[in-house]
Structures are given as structure tokens and as C-alpha cells.
Homo-oligomer: A and B are copies of this chain.
Amino acid sequence: MMQQLQRPYCARCQHRIRSILRDVDDYALENLDSTKACYLYKKGQVIFSEGIPPTGLFCVHKGKVKVYKTGGEGREKIMRLAKNGDVIGYRSLLTGEPSSVSAAALEESVICCIPQETFFKLLRGNGGFSMRIIELLSAELGRAEEEIVHIAQKPVRERLAEALLLLKDTYGTEDGDSSALNVRLSREELAGIVGTAVETLVRALAEFKRQRLISTEKKKIRILDLPRLIEIGNLHD
């Protein structure tokens, strides 16, 4: 399915200092490096799927990943976007349930998989690591609860503004064009972030274009009026 790669060393990984592995000791790092696996996923490839028991913790070495849930009528809600140094798949690992979400690569991505046993060894052996996990879960829970209120109470237009700001925050802008978001999403994916139907998303995008807040050129989105976008996104907080 996906290509297996030679493992990069966590010990030398540039993302590690900002990741949840930041204060894992050398001994544990060695164990980690010797038990993990590393894969190359092509754009669109599924990393793991809802309903399947998790096999380990996934760590994005390089690339962009969407974490999503598939709702009743097959509509996809994107729960989280992961970038270099982010981990995914930890929640179901911790509850011992089958995964409650799926994950797929938004672009070609290199992703390491830390086996379940290694993960739990880290958790038990290292107080710092379990504290990082707690912080991660707390932050995610906070974000999720925010999103519940927003989806329940804010109109699409404001949620779209928020989504665009999130994309800028998460993936930044292109080298040489600081207004162009550094990620390419289909309209369906964008709708999945906002939590609305594709057609509604397209109309909201068109309105933003008319108002010169953004411009689009295929999947490339440029932010033309950041202050105004922030205003719209945070209007009803």
C-alpha cells in the first residue's frame, strides 16, 4: 500500500524540540528509534481509519495530514490538521477503543509509526511524557469545545473566516508570497473544516472574493485583508 522508508532518527529530528517527545531521555529515544517504522504516504492516502483498532502513535515527520470523521450521509468533518512534528492517533490508543477518526495525507507525507507498546512504555517510564500527553489532550479538548459553540452559534461566513485563519496559523504562507496559504485543499475539504455543505462553502468563498478579502486561483487561496478577516472570524466570541 504505502512505501516503507528508512527510519529517520528521532534523536536528530528537528521537530522533536517542539513535539511531545521533547523531553524523552536518550535511552528511551534509542528504544523508540529501533522499534518505530516510517512510511511514505502519497497525497490522499489513508493513514488509519475510523472503527479500526489503532496499531500505534503516528508522528508526522514531513507533510500535511487531515484527521476527519465521516458523518451520517457520508459527509466528512475535518477535526484536526497536522503538520511536521505533530502526532495523531493518540486518543483511541489511550482509551483502548477502535479509532474514532480517520486520517489521510493532504500531500505526500513521511510519517513514523510508534508501536503501541513503545508508546505505553514511554507513558509509564517518563513523567514528563505523560505530562506532555495531558497538555496535548487538554489543549485539544479546549479547541473542540470552542468549536462546538462556534458550530452551534456562528454562521458559515464567520466560521469560514476562522478556518482560513486556522490554515494560515497551521501551515503558514508560501515562500515568496506571504499572502498565499501554503496548503491546497479541495472545496470539499474546506467545507469539511468549516462544517457545512460544499455549495454553501463555495458561495461563502465567492462572497469573500467579491469583498476582496481573499482571492482564489484553483486551490491556491490568497489572503488579501487579514485584519478584516480576523474581525469577521472573532466577531461573535
Q: Hey, which bits of chain A sit against chain B, CB under 8 A?
A: 69, 71-73, 75, 77, 79, 91-92, 94-95, 97, 100-101, 123-124, 127, 130-131, 133-135, 137-142, 144-154, 195-196, 235-237
CB of A119 to closest CB in B, whole Å:
12
- Whether B151 pairs with A72 at a CB distance below 8 angstroms is no
Partner of A69, one of B75, B92, B149, B235: B149
Given contacts A91-B138, A144-B144, A151-B151, contact A72 B237 (CB under 8 A): yes
What are 11 sample pairs from A and B whose C-beta atoms fall under 8 A apart?
A: A69-B145, A69-B148, A91-B142, A94-B138, A95-B139, A101-B145, A130-B131, A130-B134, A134-B134, A137-B141, A140-B141
Chain B residues, Cβ within 8 Å of A73: 153, 236
Complex CA distance for A208 and B211, rounded to whole angstroms: 44
Pairs A-B, 7 closest by C-beta atoms? A72-B236, A152-B195, A144-B144, A137-B137, A71-B153, A94-B138, A95-B138
Copies in the complex: 2
Complex CA distance for A116 and B221, rounded to whole angstroms: 45
Complex CA distance for A100 and B196, rounded to whole angstroms: 25
Chain B residues, Cβ within 8 Å of A148: 69, 77, 79, 144, 147-148, 151, 195
Complex CA distance for A48 and B78, rounded to whole angstroms: 32
Please give 4 more A-B residue pairs, beta carbons under 8 A apart, in addition to A134-B137, A152-B196.
A72-B235, A77-B148, A91-B138, A152-B195
Given contacts A130-B134, A134-B137, A137-B134, contact A100 B151 (CB under 8 A): no
Closest B residue to A142 by CB, please name it: B100
- Whether A91 pairs with B141 at a CB distance below 8 angstroms is yes
Complex CA distance for A44 and B91, rounded to whole angstroms: 34
Chain B residues, Cβ within 8 Å of A237: 72
Complex CA distance for A101 and B92, rounded to whole angstroms: 25
Complex CA distance for A94 and B135, rounded to whole angstroms: 7
Closest B residue to A75 by CB, please name it: B153
Complex CA distance for A92 and B133, rounded to whole angstroms: 15
- Whether B142 pairs with A95 at a CB distance below 8 angstroms is yes
Partner of A144, one of B92, B124, B139, B145: B145
CB of A203 to closest CB in B, whole Å:
17
